């Protein structure tokens, strides 16, 4: 693996959530400026997005349980 591809993964891991989302948007944009990232970096992006979705879903379920008065979620 060359250094560029190792560095993109490290940069993604160190980025704050807004920077991570920008990197994901850049990687998935349909414009002329689509950036290329390594497989490892794309995998890190997918894992991070999955974690964000799980956290959002858990918060939603907790909120719904609290509204219903059921705290045994």
* Interatomic CA distance for residues 37 and 41, integer angstroms: 6
Please give the pLDDT value at position 56: 96
Query: pTM of the full predicted structure?
Result: 0.72
User: Nearest CA to 15 among 35, 45, 47?
Assistant: 45
Which pLDDT does position 6 carry in this prediction?
A: 82
Question: pLDDT tens string for the chain (73 positions)?
Answer: 456 668 889 999 999 999 999 998 888 877 656 667 888 999 999 999 999 999 999 999 999 888 888 766 4
């Amino acid at each position: 693996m060359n250094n560029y591809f190792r560095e993109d993964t490290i940069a993604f891991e160190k980025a704050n959530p807004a920077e991570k989302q920008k990197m994901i948007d850049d990687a998935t944009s349909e414009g002329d400026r689509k950036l290329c990232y390594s497989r490892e970096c794309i995998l890190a992006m997918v894992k991070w997005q999955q974690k964000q979705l799980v956290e959002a879903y858990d918060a939603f379920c907790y909120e719904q349980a609290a509204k219903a008065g059921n705290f045994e979620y």
